[in-house]
Structure 1
């Protein structure tokens, strides 16, 4: 079990009815308890499953769903029909339910007892019958849900439930997520902007602007002794040249000031209860900071790197959608080994079948994805309002499979785009001392990039080594937003058709509502 999810629960509700008598319901109840215990003892589920009993009437269904809505520990509801459960009795409860829903199509017994099966057994074990009745009403109600089909003791079945559970936890986290924007969108960039009201309405998180003058109040309250202590942590945790520890050098001063910026941002985020933030390298306080001391003397890249490691969402150049999506990515991958990060498409390396994209940013890449121990370095950065020596962690990323995702505002809906990628070995970049990743999009560079561009994907993405497109499909289903997946099965022309079909679907859906 992942400790980060200890305060969460997934509720398990079994559908039945009283037609077959009280003894049958007692057996259903016993089987359900055994199944829930088995799921919890499997060691494969990150969140505890809590059995909430059988539902035998419309009132019982509605009462359970209403309770789920009002219990902050409950992040989702699993339903399973042990017997035939007339689906009309589920209508009001499903209409009430606001938490994510999983329909588990399974059966208590693994195999048919051919020699002993009688009518009583048939009446009791009707999942093949009952789950179809229940599935019909879910479809009739247009109820977003995940459907998992398989025997409850099989690892594959449990893994599908585990993925959904993690997504449910991240969804619950986003419902009170606050993103702070230190500055606005930059240079008239469209893709990083969008409708913040619609985002809160659809995906739950709230976005606020915070002027840098307010940030400076926190900056001025940071104590030198605390900055000294954090600098010591930097030198302890990261590889570095010994000369950086010389307090008489400009490089040490830049590291010290980076530590002060990190403590400032942490204080702001903690005080405001924010789970993420964006920066804008044209808005860092007084332009004459070297003389006045009233601002950051460099882009807070090192601070952003370390805050991402701790789970704070981050988006560059005011990209609040990426900040929120990164927080969600990080939250649902807690306890998994690979790591995640905010990334940006930088430049291309054309090399036949190995044509790849260099992913980086000026500075802000999470060290969790580093191949080796990150190096603390100080180099000149000639962009934005602060053209100066700037501290940062430098590394290349691990090789392996991962997935990049983004959310874009299409005007009448949000679209989630995810692309499977294969991270390959990167060559040294002696003149570009930044953190970076090098990947080949699936199914090929041409198809993967072509589909991403046709879908309107951003140049920013939220990347993870740990998750699969199943996570993003589940997230989009819960949020009820469009989902476009690009992987090794994607055909370019079929994908373009999918985009056109989706456009018609959402136009008609809006008209019908």
Structure 2
């Protein structure tokens, strides 16, 4: 199990009944215990599965699901019908269950024992139609769930369960997620705005405004010795020119001030219990910071980069939806090797089949995706309320495939847009000292970029090398939101039809409600 998930558990409940007698239920129980132990011992599941016994009646189902709701460690429930479990006995329990549900369609034994199979075996091993009975009632009740079909010992079956477990962890984390907006959204920008009340109702997280004056109250309390220690950490962890360590230089002062800003942001995030934040480059305290000393003397790009690497959600220009989504990606990918980041579509490179999009931001890209050790540099940044020399980590991303995602507010619903991308080797950027990635949206630039725009996708997105479409499919299913995928199989006309059909579906669904 992964240490980051050690306080979570998944409950496993087996459906049965007493029609075949107590001895049969004992066998069901024994098989279930063996299966759960096998899943945990496989080394493929990041979160421990806890067997909670057989459910043989409506009362037992309701009690188990009510207990799952009330147990904070339980972040999801797996159900499996070992034998025939009449589905009507699951109705009341399913009506109250608030945790994510996975229906596992499997069987204790792999193959039919052709030479010895008899009616007793048939009666006991009835997953073939017991799971269909259970699947029917879930479908009739319109219960959202993940269905995994396959033999429980097989790697691919366990991998599907593992994906869902990671998504459950991110979902549980989002239910008490606080995002702080340090300043407001950037004026007149549509995609970074949205309905915060609806977001909390549907996705769980809460968004609060925090005036920058409150950040500065923490900034004033930061001790110089702590800043000195953090600057030493910078010099130890990142490549840099030795001249940067000259304490009499302007560049050193900028690094020192960036470290103080990081400590201030850490302090307020910890004090508030926040899991993510946004910034706005037009709101950093007093405009005349040199005179008043009451503000950041530069955009806190270095702080944002480092905080993202530690799991804090981040969104630029007040983009609270991206901040929350990045936090969820970071949670999902704990223990995975390749990294994730908030990114922005910056500029296009038309080059035939290699046409691509340069992903960057002014400064705020997570070093988790860096191809090599990041370099600490100080350069002028002429944007926002602080046009000044600014500290940042400079690097390019790894070459490889990944997936990027965004959530947009369409007024009557949230839509998740997911695009497979291929990160390619960038050319040198001698006059653009920022962190960056260069990718080709799949299946190619024209289709990938075009479908993203047709879907209303943002210029901000949250990227991971380790996640796949399956993670976002599971996430959208748990959340009950629309999700569209752009991948190697996408055709523009079919994608546009899907968007139109979805629009009709959600309009009718809202009207019926």
Whether TM-score is above 0.5 comes out as yes
Match of 2:225 in 1: 225
Secondary structure of the equivalent of 2:214? helix
Q: Which position in structure 2 is the counterpart of 1:18?
A: 18
Cα distance in 2 between the residues matched to 1:494 and 1:14: 41
Write the distance in 1 (CA, Å) between the matches of 2:135 and 2:354.
45
- For 2:355, the equivalent position in structure 1 comes to 355
SS in 1 for 2:498: helix
2:401 paired with 1:401: yes
2:111 aligned with 1:106, yes or no? no
Which residue of structure 2 aligns with residue 301 of structure 1? 301
**1:137-156 to 2 correspondences below 5 Å:** 137-156=137-156
CA offset digits 1:374-425 (Å, max 9, x no partner):
0000000000000000000000000001100000001011001110000000
| Structure 2 residue matching 1:221: 3-state secondary structure | coil
Note the residue ranges of structure 1 that are not aligned, 5 or more in a row: none
- Match in the other structure for 1:236: 236
Deviation at 1:165? 0.1
Deviation string 1:61-101 (CA, Å, 9 cap, x unpaired) is 00000000000000000000000100000011011000000
2:176 aligns with 176
Hey, what's the Cα distance between the residues in 2 that align with 1:419 and 1:59?
44
Show CA shifts across 1:188-222 (max 9, x none): 00111000000000000000000011111100000
Indicate the SS of the match to 1:411: coil
Shift of 1:319: 0.1
Q: Given the alignment of the two structures, is residue 334 of structure 1 paired with residue 331 of structure 2, yes or no?
A: no
Q: Quote the Cα distance in structure 2 between the aligned partners of 1:222 and 1:95.
A: 51
Give the match for residue 121 of structure 1: 121
- C-alpha separation between the residues in 2 aligned to 1:193 and 1:160? 34
CA distance in 2, matches of 1:455, 1:54: 45
Alpha-carbon distance between aligned partners in 2 of 1:322 and 1:218, rounded to the nearest angstrom = 25
Correspondences of 1:102-501 after superposition (within 5 Å):
102-501=102-501
User: Helix, strand or coil: the match of 1:353?
Assistant: helix
Structure 2: stretches of 5+ with no match in the other structure: none
TM (normalized to structure 1)? Answer: 1.00
Give the match's secondary structure for 1:112: coil
Q: Which moved more, 1:186-195 or 1:271-280?
A: 186-195
| Corresponding residue SS for 2:325 | helix
CA distance in 2, matches of 1:403, 1:441: 9
For residues 144-169 of structure 1, what are the alpha-carbon distances to aligned partners after superposition, in whole Å with 9 as ceiling and x for unaligned? Answer: 00000000000000000000000000
| Secondary structure of 1:152 counterpart | coil
- In 1, the alpha carbon distance for the partners of 2:505 and 2:95 equals 22
| Aligned mates of 1:28, 1:410 — CA distance in 2 | 48
The structural deviation recorded for 1:292 is 1.2
Q: Find the aligned partners of 2:315 and 2:506 in 1 and give their Cα distance.
A: 28
Using the TM superposition, give the Cα deviation of residue 491 of structure 1 relative to its aligned residue in structure 2, in angstroms: 1.3
Could you report, residue by residue, the CA deviation over 1:317-352 in whole angstroms, capped at 9, with x for unpaired residues?
A: 000000000000001101100100000000011011
What corresponds to 1:3 in structure 2? 3
Over the residues paired in the alignment, what is the CA RMSD in angstroms?
0.5
Q: Distance in 2 between matches of 1:184 and 1:449?
A: 29
In structure 2, C-alpha distance between the alignment counterparts of 1:184 and 1:243, rounded to whole Å: 37
Q: What is the CA-CA distance between 1:187 and the residue it aligns to?
A: 2.6
**Aligned partners of 1:504 and 1:111: how far apart in 2?**
45
| In 2, Cα distance between equivalents of 1:394 and 1:469 | 29
Q: Distance in 2 between matches of 1:490 and 1:15?
A: 39
SS in 2 for 1:184: coil
SS at 1:283 equivalent = coil
Aligned with 2:121: secondary structure? helix
Alpha-carbon distance in structure 2 between the residues aligned to 1:309 and 1:256? 20
Deviation at 1:489, TM superposition (A): 1.2
CA distance in 2 between counterparts of 1:118 and 1:22 reads 19
Residue 511 of structure 1, CA deviation: 1.4
Give the distance between the partners of 1:507 and 1:17, measured in 2 at CA: 41
CA distance in 2, matches of 1:236, 1:257: 17
- 1:29-68 alpha-carbon deviations (Å, 9 max, x no partner): 0000000000000000000000000001001000000000
**Partner SS for 2:383:** coil
Q: Distance in 1 between matches of 2:477 and 2:405?
A: 15
Please give the alpha-carbon distance, in whole angstroms, between the structure 2 residues aligned to 1:444 and 1:54. 50
2:90 aligned with 1:90, yes or no? yes
Matched positions, count: 513
**How many Å separate the matches in 1 of 2:351 and 2:303?**
35
TM-score by length of 2: 1.00
